């Protein structure tokens, strides 16, 4: 039953192509048939096999066997039992016995390859099996239970100040997810440019003459050459944006106030454990990236064209996807997904890397990246749809970043426990979930998710960050008022965003919400802006029904 439950969960939670979906349906069918066959054997056939006619005459079999596949046996004893059970069987006899037998008919056996699938499924890992039938059957069932659903692309690079810790190789406690692995950063990842929200502290450089005495500047900002200089620095909106502050834009999904405040108040006065090289990769584009550029329409259009392929990529359990840097995501959203550009240039090398990562997923979803990207015609996107897309990106990034942070901060592999902090599936969440979980209007509806996250936080061990006492005591408290829930919410959000910065060296992607009525784009009479989710002192009697 557990195996069938996992197979059904995979079909519900993980986006897949038609071929993968067919394999998932077959897994459910096989588990169902094996379960019903076992129940029938225990309830019907086994009593028939071992019953005695004088004590259980009703257990005797009829003339015709039941419509089952049957069995092969060389044992006369088991042949008698199978006959008593009403199961078809084939009695295998020694060859030397046929010399004295009269053969009435020669039957050509079926070729298994003509009736069952014998070729291995493409893009799936093989399951090692033993020599005997029992070993192969055991290996098959073990592989079906332990086959990972998907892999977390946030395979974190270790730093000298933070020891590496790894999750179990077999996935989570249920054996259905791959663990969030803390791995040494590959040479290719090392070569990626690093873009942090604040100044990067790099190694000291030799300084000479007047240039050596000049003040050093942060990355991406050039020293001013005077107010009359024609070479004065011009920052693009993205370069000037502080990632610890959510853009105030009609195209952006509304924030949850307490989470937004927590992100804005992250203490960046000290170098994080990530050091001078933050772990600056994202599972999906950062939500603000879609709407903070003058190319907003292009970015939104391209993201919608590749949305299914990106979700398919996240549902691929092979673990090859490692996430992309902000610059790579800008290239992707700009339509630069194929190897083009000047030979030997960084842009061409980056495009080749992107094509290698995204190309298979695009082709699996029927997207011709060379013909469809960049798009020849840009379809306009409404602000309502843009809010839904940015909410979706924020939610999926958050649902991947939390397990990655938990694995790093606790040294444990608890993907299942992390997913219980969210109201739905990890990939492709439904828009209805934008009003559930941490975004629910009622504080009592938010409380279960806050308590689950607080329970995880009890095992976090950041080096320089004390854990708030209310988080340590949360699981033991029973009397929760709206005021106490508001305090817990504030502390959970602050502890999460600060701990994320401590381990990743960048801003976390925080959960958001949607205010409008889904399918209409209209705000309800009392929408979320009128309800301060996080300020406990602002709750008024009658504003929120806590029952």
pLDDT one-digit tens code per residue, 30-45: 888 888 888 988 988 8
DSSP string for residues in 79-107: HHHHHHHT--EEE---GGGGGGS------
**Confidence (pLDDT) at 285:** 94
DSSP string for residues in 421-449: TSSS-SSS--GGGGGSGGG-SSHHHHHHH
Higher pLDDT pick, 494 / 219: 494
**Beta strand pairing call for 71-73 and 89-91:** parallel
Please list, in sequence order, all residues whose beta carbon lies within 8 angstroms of the beta carbon of residue 23, skipping any fewer than 6 positions away.
121, 124
Residue 227, pLDDT above cutoff 50: no
Are 365 and 308 in contact by the 8 Å Cβ rule? The answer is yes
Place of tokens 């038609």: 18
**Confidence (pLDDT) at 512:** 96
d(CA 497, CA 296): 27
Place of tokens 């083009």: 340
Res. 547 pLDDT band, cuts 50 70 90:
very low
**Confidence (pLDDT) at 287:** 94
**Confidence (pLDDT) at 258:** 94
Three-state DSSP state, 318: coil
Ranges 49-53, 91-95, 206-210: which has the least confidence: 206-210
d(CA 388, CA 72): 59
As a whole number, mean pLDDT of residues 162-177 equals 35
Are 435 and 524 in contact by the 8 Å Cβ rule? The answer is no
As a whole number, mean pLDDT of residues 89-103 equals 79
pTM exceeding the 0.85 threshold for the entire prediction: no
Ranges 326-330, 475-479, 507-511: which has the least confidence: 475-479
10 Å CB burial of residue 174 (0-12, 13-18, 19+) is middle
Res. 201 pLDDT band, cuts 50 70 90:
very low
| Winning range, highest mean pLDDT, from 9-18, 229-238, 306-315 | 306-315
d(CA 477, CA 294): 49
Three-state DSSP state, 72: strand
Res. 539 pLDDT band, cuts 50 70 90:
very low
Residue 435, pLDDT above cutoff 70: yes
d(CA 507, CA 498): 9
Residue 158, pLDDT above cutoff 90: no
**Confidence (pLDDT) at 532:** 41
Place of tokens 């401590």: 502
Higher pLDDT pick, 255 / 154: 255
Higher pLDDT pick, 321 / 245: 245
Higher pLDDT pick, 61 / 156: 61
Higher pLDDT pick, 24 / 151: 24
| Winning range, highest mean pLDDT, from 5-14, 171-180, 210-219, 234-243 | 5-14
Residue 230, pLDDT above cutoff 80: no
**Confidence (pLDDT) at 63:** 62
As a whole number, mean pLDDT of residues 444-464 equals 92
Average pLDDT across the chain, whole number: 75
Of 134, 167, 162, the residue nearest 152 (C-alpha): 167
End-to-end CA distance of the chain: 36
Residue 220, pLDDT above cutoff 50: no
Q: Which two tokens stand for residue 397?
A: 């990034």
Of 300, 246, 254, 244, the residue nearest 435 (C-alpha): 254
Residue 49, pLDDT above cutoff 50: yes
**Confidence (pLDDT) at 531:** 40
pLDDT tens digits, one per residue of 110-149: 887 888 777 777 666 677 777 787 888 788 777 666 666 6
Q: Which two tokens stand for residue 250?
A: 């009609």
Residue 500, pLDDT above cutoff 80: yes
**Confidence (pLDDT) at 17:** 73
As a whole number, mean pLDDT of residues 67-76 equals 86
Higher pLDDT pick, 329 / 125: 329
**Confidence (pLDDT) at 146:** 64
Three-state DSSP state, 512: strand
């Amino acid at each position: 039953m557990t195996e069938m439950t996992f197979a059904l969960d995979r079909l519900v939670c993980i986006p897949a192509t038609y071929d993968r979906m067919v394999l998932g349906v077959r897994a459910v069918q096989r588990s169902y048939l094996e379960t019903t066959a076992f129940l029938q054997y225990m309830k019907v056939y086994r009593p028939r096999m071992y019953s005695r006619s004088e004590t259980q005459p009703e257990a005797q079999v009829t003339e015709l066997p039941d419509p089952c596949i049957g069995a092969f046996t060389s044992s006369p004893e088991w042949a008698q039992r199978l006959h008593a059970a009403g199961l078809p069987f084939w009695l295998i006899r020694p060859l030397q016995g046929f010399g004295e037998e009269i053969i009435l008919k020669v039957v050509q056996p079926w070729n298994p390859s003509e009736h069952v699938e014998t070729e291995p499924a493409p893009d799936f890992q093989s399951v090692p099996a033993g020599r005997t039938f029992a070993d192969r059957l055991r290996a098959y069932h073990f592989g079906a239970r332990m086959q990972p659903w998907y892999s977390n692309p946030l395979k974190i690079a270790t730093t000298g100040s933070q020891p590496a810790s790894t999750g179990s190789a077999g996935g989570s406690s249920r054996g259905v997810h791959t663990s969030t692995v803390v791995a040494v950063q590959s040479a290719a990842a090392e070569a990626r440019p690093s873009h942090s929200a604040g100044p990067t502290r790099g190694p000291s450089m030799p300084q000479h003459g007047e240039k050596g005495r000049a003040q050093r500047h942060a990355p991406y900002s050039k020293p001013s050459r005077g107010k009359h200089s024609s070479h004065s620095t011009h920052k693009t909106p993205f370069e000037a944006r502080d990632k610890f502050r959510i853009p105030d834009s009609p195209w952006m999904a509304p924030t949850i106030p307490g989470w937004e405040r927590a992100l804005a108040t992250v203490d960046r006065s000290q170098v994080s454990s990530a050091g001078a090289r933050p772990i600056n990769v994202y599972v999906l584009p950062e939500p603000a990236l879609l709407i903070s550029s003058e190319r907003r329409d292009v970015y939104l259009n391209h993201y919608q064209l590749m949305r299914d392929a990106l979700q398919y990529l996240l549902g691929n359990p092979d673990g090859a996807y490692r996430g992309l840097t902000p610059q790579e995501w800008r290239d992707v959203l700009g339509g630069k997904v194929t190897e083009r550009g000047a030979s030997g240039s960084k842009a061409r090398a980056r495009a080749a890397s992107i094509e290698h990562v995204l190309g298979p997923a695009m082709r699996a979803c029927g997207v011709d990246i060379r013909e469809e990207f960049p798009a020849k015609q840009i379809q306009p996107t409404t602000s309502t749809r843009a809010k839904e897309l940015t909410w979706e990106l924020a939610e999926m990034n958050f649902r991947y970043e939390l397990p990655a942070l938990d694995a790093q901060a606790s040294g444990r592999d608890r993907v299942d426990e992390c997913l219980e902090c969210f109201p739905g599936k990890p990939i492709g969440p439904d828009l209805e979930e934008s009003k559930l979980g941490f975004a629910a209007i009622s504080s009592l509806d938010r409380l279960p998710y806050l308590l689950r996250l607080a329970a995880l936080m009890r095992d976090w061990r950041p080096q320089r960050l004390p854990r708030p006492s209310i988080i340590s005591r949360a699981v033991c408290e029973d009397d929760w008022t709206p005021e106490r829930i508001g305090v817990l919410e504030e502390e959970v959000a602050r502890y999460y965003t600060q701990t994320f910065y401590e381990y990743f060296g960048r801003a976390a992607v925080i959960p958001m919400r949607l205010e409008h009525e889904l399918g209409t784009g209209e705000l309800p009479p009392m929408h979320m802006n009128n309800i301060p989710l996080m300020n406990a002192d602002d709750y008024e009697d009658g504003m929120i029904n806590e029952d």
